[in-house]
């Protein structure tokens, strides 16, 4: 009989099919486990798979007394409370860097679509507005990408891939990170200084309690009225209310977002704006990105159930 | 009194404002000049500005007996019939390479938006489909960009800029061009062989009578069911009817188009498709691209009215 694994977050079924071939999956559909399964069903569960960003508080862990492993599908693990997992002896693993290419590609797509207004452009052609010569914001020229100053917040694997792709567009690239890297880009020792300098600011930092709302009203003001912010990290890094206000008042020019404060929700005040490009947290989701993430998840689970250390441990 | 210049194509007024400061503009709004102006008004006109792609037949030139210069706004001049202009001693000029960065950026934006389905993604978030967990094509993973084979048809200034940007995405880059260039990309000696090899095919060739419908049903079949075609050159290079059929039957995976056979028309059979990203010929339209194009137009006009050769002549 296969081992049982709880699916803690809401995933498309197709993403779990490969893992379901090896394990008996109990799918919560993203609900609290005790709402979907009985205490008797939850009691023997030894491992769970989470999207990483969804909080797993102590009261949930209390309903899973046999839990020994939390496996994050993707690189992020900001929903995991390590004081709780450490106290319970629960191992935590992730899929490090598995989808860095895919996420960097979405970041670049969001940046180009924002700067060159591709959502508005596509709508203008499809609606017949172009054929009829209707007035459009598209006749007001946007700045091009070449020659712009691109700031990258967080120069991890994804940040470095964004940097090298932006450099090929003949931009100037700078970054802020906890420490200076051996990289051919300008280092800024504060995020504020980076925002002040940047025309385009990519948020590629690993999210956690320390990065919550680091992009706030004051920082957006420094980015300024020609500025565009792209977030492919986590929604928590940006104060979403401040971002909406900045976009409404044109304190900044635009935004491209793959992540939100409360997924899968994007508030109406955001979805009603024309100067944003929105995608539903699909950054890592390519055939290759998914396969590599699944590999990491399977390897973490296999090792755990074989009584071995996780090959991709966190903390 | 300023010299008079006829505006032959339909341009947003803002694009002509700078030129209007130096010249007295007679704007046809894209209509046939004789529909808008009397023979007496057209008789003294010595220069006109055209978008380059709009045909200027001999019967139109017959209504402009004093015409000495045709100035193309942009790099293209495929609407100009050189047998007619040469016979009449009309000089023709353009804005060479002025907007290569801007066009390469749109090409990359269309490619990323097509491959990663950003139009569908944005619509899914805005419609509330994501929040409600509605079924979506987005859960079927697309291939990533890294590792793909990118073919470039035409390695002029724009093609080379597309090539270097794609290379930064860790793709393999190949090209077909009339001749082999000193460039670090694989050269294919036929367009068919390039299409057969490519996952993503960029059309960046200079359009003309010899390139009309070069991308036809047979070539799209070679590109194949995983293939995506991006066109930022001219609509005439692709057989648009064949392209629509190929997209409808999934003979190819998708397309990103900035140009169309009959602008500003994109037919309903095209605008009804989900596997395309459409933009209204905005490739060259950035602040920098426009300013450089305007510089070239003004320099061509100034030289002509001063009795000097055009600084940016064609043919």
Q: Do the domains at A4-98+287-305 and A100-278 have one common CATH topology?
A: yes
Residues in B closer than 8 angstroms to A274, CB to CB, are none
Q: Do B124 and A287 touch (CB under 8 A)?
A: no
The residue ranking higher by pLDDT, B256 or A290, is: B256
Nearest to A101 among B121, B146, B265 (CB): B146
The whole-angstrom separation of Cα A228 and Cα A231 is 10
B53 and B70 in contact (C-beta within 8 Å)? no
Joined tokens for residue A75: 């690189």
Residues in B closer than 8 angstroms to A125, CB to CB, are 266, 271, 278-280
Candidates A133, A280, A293, partner chain B, best to mutate (most B CBs within 10 A): A280
Instruction: Give the strand order in the sheet containing B149-153.
Output: B186-187, B172-176, B149-153, B200-203, B228-231, B254-257, B276-278
Q: Do B286 and A112 touch (CB under 8 A)?
A: no
pLDDT digits over A201-223, tens only?
999 999 988 999 999 999 999 99
pLDDT given for residue A13 in this prediction: 84
Q: Is B224 helix (H, G, I), strand (E, B) or coil?
A: coil
Give mean pLDDT, residues A40-68: 96
pLDDT given for residue A1 in this prediction: 60
Find where tokens 């680091």 sit.
A214
Find where tokens 């300024």 sit.
A224
Find where tokens 């044109």 sit.
A250
pLDDT digits over B27-70, tens only?
999 999 999 999 999 999 999 999 998 999 999 999 999 999 99
Residues in B closer than 8 angstroms to A131, CB to CB, are 264-266
Average pLDDT, chain A: 95
pLDDT band of residue A314 (cuts 50, 70, 90) is very high
Q: Do A109 and B112 touch (CB under 8 A)?
A: yes
pLDDT given for residue A210 in this prediction: 94
Q: What is the CATH number of domain A100-278?
A: 3.40.50.720
In this model, does residue A155 exceed pLDDT 90?
yes
Query: How close does chain A come to B133, measured CA to CA in Å?
Result: 8
Query: How close does chain B come to A292, measured CA to CA in Å?
Result: 12
Residues in A closer than 8 angstroms to B139, CB to CB, are 12, 14-15
B204 and B170 in contact (C-beta within 8 Å)? no
Give mean pLDDT, residues B8-12: 91
Average pLDDT, chain B: 95
Query: How close does chain A come to B92, measured CA to CA in Å?
Result: 26
The whole-angstrom separation of Cα A113 and Cα B190 is 32
Q: Do A141 and B285 touch (CB under 8 A)?
A: yes
Give mean pLDDT, residues B103-126: 98
Find where tokens 């090899």 sit.
B197
Domain boundaries in chain A?
4-98+287-305, 100-278
pLDDT digits over A10-21, tens only?
998 888 999 999
Which residue pairs from B238-245 have beta carbons closer than 8 angstroms and sit at least 24 positions apart in sequence? Answer: B238/B203, B238/B213, B238/B214, B239/B213, B239/B215, B240/B267, B240/B270, B242/B213, B242/B215, B242/B216, B242/B217, B243/B215, B243/B270, B244/B269, B244/B270, B244/B273, B245/B217
pLDDT digits over B186-208, tens only?
999 999 999 999 999 999 999 98
Nearest CA-CA partner of B143 in A313, A165, A290: A290
Give mean pLDDT, residues B118-133: 97
* Annotation says A165 is catalytic: no
Query: How close does chain B come to A113, measured CA to CA in Å?
Result: 6
The whole-angstrom separation of Cα A41 and Cα A34 is 9
B16 contact partners, CB below 8 Å, separation of at least 6: B7, B25, B27, B49
Joined tokens for residue A225: 């009225």
* Annotation says B41 is catalytic: no
- Indicate the fold that domain B4-98+287-305 takes in CATH: Rossmann fold (3.40.50)
pLDDT band of residue B99 (cuts 50, 70, 90) is confident
Number of H helices, E strands in chain A: 14, 12
Residues in A closer than 8 angstroms to B163, CB to CB, are none
The residue ranking higher by pLDDT, A47 or B15, is: A47
**Stated pTM of the model:** 0.89
Examine the predicted complex and report whether its ipTM is higher than 0.95: no
Query: How close does chain A come to B245, measured CA to CA in Å?
Result: 18
Residue of chain B with shortest Cα separation from A137:
B12
| Backbone region of residue A275 per phi and psi (left: phi > 0; alpha: psi in -120 to 50; beta: other values) | alpha
pLDDT given for residue B14 in this prediction: 84
Q: Do A138 and B271 touch (CB under 8 A)?
A: no
The whole-angstrom separation of Cα B189 and Cα A38 is 67
Candidates B103, B126, B231, partner chain A, best to mutate (most A CBs within 10 A): B126
* Annotation says B213 is catalytic: no
Residues in A closer than 8 angstroms to B10, CB to CB, are 133
């Amino acid at each position: 009989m296969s081992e049982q694994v709880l699916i803690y977050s809401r995933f498309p079924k197709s993403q779990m099919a490969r893992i379901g071939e090896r394990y008996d999956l109990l799918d919560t559909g993203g609900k609290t486990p005790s709402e979907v399964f009985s205490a008797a069903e939850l009691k023997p569960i030894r491992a769970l798979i989470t999207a990483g960003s969804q909080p797993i508080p102590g009261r949930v862990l209390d309903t899973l007394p046999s839990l020994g492993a939390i496996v994050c599908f993707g690189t992020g693990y900001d929903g995991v409370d390590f004081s709780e997992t450490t106290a319970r002896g629960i191992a935590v693993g992730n899929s490090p860097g598995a989808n860095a290419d895919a996420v960097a590609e979405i970041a670049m797509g969001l940046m180009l679509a924002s700067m060159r207004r591709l959502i508005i452009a596509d709508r203008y052609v499809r609606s017949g507005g172009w054929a009829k010569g209707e007035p459009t914001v598209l006749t007001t020229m946007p700045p091009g990408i070449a020659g712009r100053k691109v700031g990258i917040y967080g120069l991890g694997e994804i940040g470095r891939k964004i940097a090298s792709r932006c450099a090929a567009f003949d931009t100037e690239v700078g970054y802020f990170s906890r420490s200076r890297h051996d990289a051919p880009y300008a280092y800024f020792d504060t995020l504020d200084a980076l925002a002040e300098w940047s025309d385009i600011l990519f948020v590629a930092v690993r999210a956690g309690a320390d990065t919550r709302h680091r992009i706030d009203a004051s920082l957006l003001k420094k980015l300024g009225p020609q500025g565009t912010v792209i977030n492919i990290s986590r929604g928590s890094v940006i104060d979403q209310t401040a971002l909406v206000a900045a976009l409404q008042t044109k304190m900044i020019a635009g935004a491209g977002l793959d992540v939100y404060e409360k997924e899968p929700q994007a508030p109406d005040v955001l979805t009603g704006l024309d100067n944003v490009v929105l995608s539903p947290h699909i950054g890592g989701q390519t055939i290759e990105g998914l396969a590599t993430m699944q590999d990491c998840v399977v390897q973490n689970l296999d090792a755990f159930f074989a009584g071995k250390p996780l090959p991709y441990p966190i903390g």
